[in-house]
Amino acid sequence: MNINFEVLEQIPAMLKLLKKISEDINKQVDKRWLSTKEAALYLGYSIDSINAKVKSGDFLPGYHYYQNSSKRMFDKVVLDKWVMGEDYREMKSNIKNTIKSIVEKTVA
């Protein structure tokens, strides 16, 4: 069996690189606000698909994302709910409760 000892010398450099990659991943995971590009990567969609969802109303301003004049930032917590289908159930429930409250005030 041949052991290439030259490769063993590369282990410290590889370990350093792995630590840096790990730190970068941890920084990204902890971020709550994602750019359009980051949201696309996070969800596994293309940037064009994210922009299409914004344009079609699948992603709502003030809920899924916030936008100033030049930058759109997506809320990762809400995107997670969207993936699980929870955000629409939550919104539907809120709408029903609001309508019920309005009707009760009108009738009273």
Q: What is the CATH number of the domain that holds 71?
A: 1.10.10
- The CB density around residue 71, as the number of other CB atoms within 10 Å, is 10
Instruction: Give the model confidence (pLDDT) of 12-69 as tens digits.
Output: 888 898 888 888 777 765 789 999 999 999 999 999 999 999 999 999 999 999 998 8
23 in a structural domain: no
Instruction: Give the model confidence (pLDDT) of 68-90 as tens digits.
Output: 888 999 999 999 999 988 777 77
24 in a structural domain: no
7 in a structural domain: no
Domain count for the chain, please give it.
1
To the nearest 10 degrees (0 to 180), the angle between helices 47-56 and 36-43 is 100
